[in-house]
Amino acid sequence: MKFAPLALVVACGAIAATPTFNQDIAPILYENCANCHRLGEVAPFSLLSYSDAAKRASQIAAVTAKRYMPPWKAEAGYGHFEDERRLSDAQIAMIGEWARNGAAEGDPARKPAPPQFTSGWQSGKPDAVFTVPASFSIPADGRDAFQCFVVPLKFSADKYVKTVEFHPGNTKVVHHALFFLDGSGQARQLDAATPEPGYPCFGGPQIAPEGALGGWAPGATTRPLPTGIVQTVNRGSDLVIQIHYHPSGKPEADQSSIGLTFGDPPTKGLSGMIVGTRKIDLAAGAQQTITDWARVPEDVDLIGITPHAHLLCKEMKVTAKFPDGRIEPLIWIRDWDFNWQGSYRYAEPVRLPKGTRIEMSYVYDNSAGNPHNPSNPPKRVTFGEQTTDEMALLFMQVVLPRADDVPRFRKQFFLGRLEQILLEGGEPAGVTRRAREILRVAGPRFDANHDGKLGPEERTALLRFLAERIKCGVDR
């Protein structure tokens, strides 16, 4: 008797808490889904109105419970990133309860105002806008297309890029885009060699880019680089935009644009760091883990990370082992999906002290049981740019205290990779062909005692010789 009133209170509480669209669900969908699930955006249907959401209530509950939606590949607890698209356990439970209880609409007075999206530039009017030179046709069906477009920037002086905002010309087919810089004219030659606008390029721009300007994926938020940091674009360089097209079922055309905002010359240094290997040999039918590591030659702050592989990769894990023995997970993608590859920017820079060891471990499945396997029956797969080739790459963006530090840092990192070749015989990505060739030819000449191998002193002498001659390029 004494406890009855209390039980009643609890029961009433539970009834009152049955979620409704207007009060509980709309805020979650507006915040986490609407940037893609609205008219003219990448997702196949809108989720803005009650009727849109209610008729798919159980499907929404299912895809959120599996964390298939919102699409976000980085596992919680392995790096903290900007703009993480991840629902909380409580939000997922709330959606499930709403769907199970008949997807009620609730009190209209409780419905929040729908989110406002600008159709213009998210980050304000850019200083310069460049449009791909000609419209590209995408057939109604068939395989996805990967096309690289060359945009002559025609800068007469070096420019310091602060913000990059991509505008897909046709959101029905543009799946994602990556931006590279070419100062060599190679991309123009590739473009001229094919009749259509741009040239086909699945695995990358097929050139040794002198830099990169990030990428775009549906639902992406445009943000400027942190204070003091800019991406330098050398005068005369071309922009190469690689676009991944997904056929829509109808013939389509696309002509995308990119807006750049410029800043002051940098006070801090920004450099790329490429880990990864070309030593890939996946036997038909096999599951295999490919690993690589690299040592950080100076104290840096890690601000961004972009793991990259093709269709056979299943899982990617990257960790930092600090000189004091501590281990910090940098990213874990448990379920790699080539269609949702992204560049991840850390919410707070991760300090990597000199001597930190970056370790990557990617798992590949070249069996017939892998639904993404492009070859049926499976065939042996090696490193390359084509759909049926593989890659094991990791691009990292690091910040140095001063802009002047960058050339020295790059050289030190590069020499470290050459030393790895001497010690372990690996084939690190990011080491130019020319450097590998010099290493092969010059190596034997530094075998002072003619014992057929290079001891520590001989190695040091060879690396010193190379340090003076090698220009640090980027080459995958």
Contact 323, 353 (CB under 8 A): yes
Nearest alpha carbon to residue 336 among 306, 318, 316: 316
In the block, tokens 């991760």 appear at 350
Residue range at the interface with ligand HEC (CB under 6 A); choices 5-13, 56-64, 75-83, 129-137: 56-64
- Which residues lie below 8 Å from residue 272, measured CB to CB, with a gap of 6+? 211, 212, 395, 396, 397, 398, 474
Nearer residue to ligand HEC within complex by CB, 65 or 153: 65
Produce one character per residue of 160-194: b if its CB has 16 or more CB atoms within 10 Å, e if not. bbbbbbbbbbbbbbbbbbbbbbbbeebbbebbeee
Nearer residue to ligand HEC within complex by CB, 146 or 199: 146
List 5, 40, 44, 377, residue binding ligand HEC (CB under 6 A): 44
- Which residues lie below 8 Å from residue 397, measured CB to CB, with a gap of 6+? 270, 271, 272, 273, 302, 303, 304, 305
Taking the complex as a whole, how short is the minimal distance between the CB of residue 27 and ligand HEC, in angstroms?
11
Nearer residue to ligand HEC within complex by CB, 222 or 271: 222
Produce one character per residue of 389-412: b if its CB has 16 or more CB atoms within 10 Å, e if not. bbbbbbbbbbbbeebebbeebbbb
Euclidean distance between CA atoms 120 and 146, whole angstroms: 26
Residue range at the interface with ligand HEC (CB under 6 A); choices 58-66, 109-117, 233-241, 430-438: 58-66
Nearest alpha carbon to residue 75 among 246, 331, 297: 331
Nearer residue to ligand HEC within complex by CB, 32 or 147: 32
Phi, psi of 129 (to 5 degrees): -120, 130
Taking the complex as a whole, how short is the minimal distance between the CB of residue 72 and ligand HEC, in angstroms?
8
List 25, 26, 36, 454, residue binding ligand HEC (CB under 6 A): 36
Euclidean distance between CA atoms 321 and 329, whole angstroms: 9
Nearer residue to ligand HEC within complex by CB, 83 or 457: 83
434's enclosing H/E stretch is helix 433-442
Taking the complex as a whole, how short is the minimal distance between the CB of residue 408 and ligand HEC, in angstroms?
39
Rg of the chain over all Cα atoms, to the nearest angstrom: 25
List 71, 168, 266, 272, residue binding ligand HEC (CB under 6 A): 71
Nearer residue to ligand HEC within complex by CB, 37 or 314: 37
Nearer residue to ligand HEC within complex by CB, 66 or 471: 66
> Which residues in the 72-131 window bind ligand HEC by CB under 6 A?
85, 87
Euclidean distance between CA atoms 203 and 205, whole angstroms: 7
Nearer residue to ligand HEC within complex by CB, 44 or 325: 44
- What mask of x and - would describe binding to ligand HEC in positions 195 to 224, judged by CB under 6 A? -----------------------xx-----
Nearer residue to ligand HEC within complex by CB, 70 or 428: 70
Q: What is the dihedral of CA 404, 237, 278, 193, to 10 degrees?
A: -170
- Which residues lie below 8 Å from residue 59, measured CB to CB, with a gap of 6+? none
What count of residues does the chain have? 476
> Which residues in the 307-336 window bind ligand HEC by CB under 6 A?
none
Residue range at the interface with ligand HEC (CB under 6 A); choices 11-19, 65-73, 136-144, 280-288: 65-73
**Is residue 42 involved in binding ligand HEC (CB under 6 A)?**
yes
Nearer residue to ligand HEC within complex by CB, 210 or 337: 337
**Is residue 64 involved in binding ligand HEC (CB under 6 A)?**
yes
Euclidean distance between CA atoms 312 and 378, whole angstroms: 10
Q: Which two tokens stand for residue 296?
A: 């950080």
List 21, 30, 70, 330, residue binding ligand HEC (CB under 6 A): 70
CB neighbours (10 Å) of residue 141? Answer: 10
Residue range at the interface with ligand HEC (CB under 6 A); choices 2-10, 69-77, 326-334, 413-421: 69-77
> Which residues in the 219-258 window bind ligand HEC by CB under 6 A?
219
- What mask of x and - would describe binding to ligand HEC in positions 14 to 33, judged by CB under 6 A? ------------------xx
**Is residue 59 involved in binding ligand HEC (CB under 6 A)?**
yes
- N- to C-terminal Cα separation, the chain: 76
List 60, 94, 212, 300, residue binding ligand HEC (CB under 6 A): 60
**Contact residues for ligand HEC (CB under 6 A)?**
32-33, 35-37, 42-44, 56, 59-60, 63-64, 69-71, 85, 87, 218-219
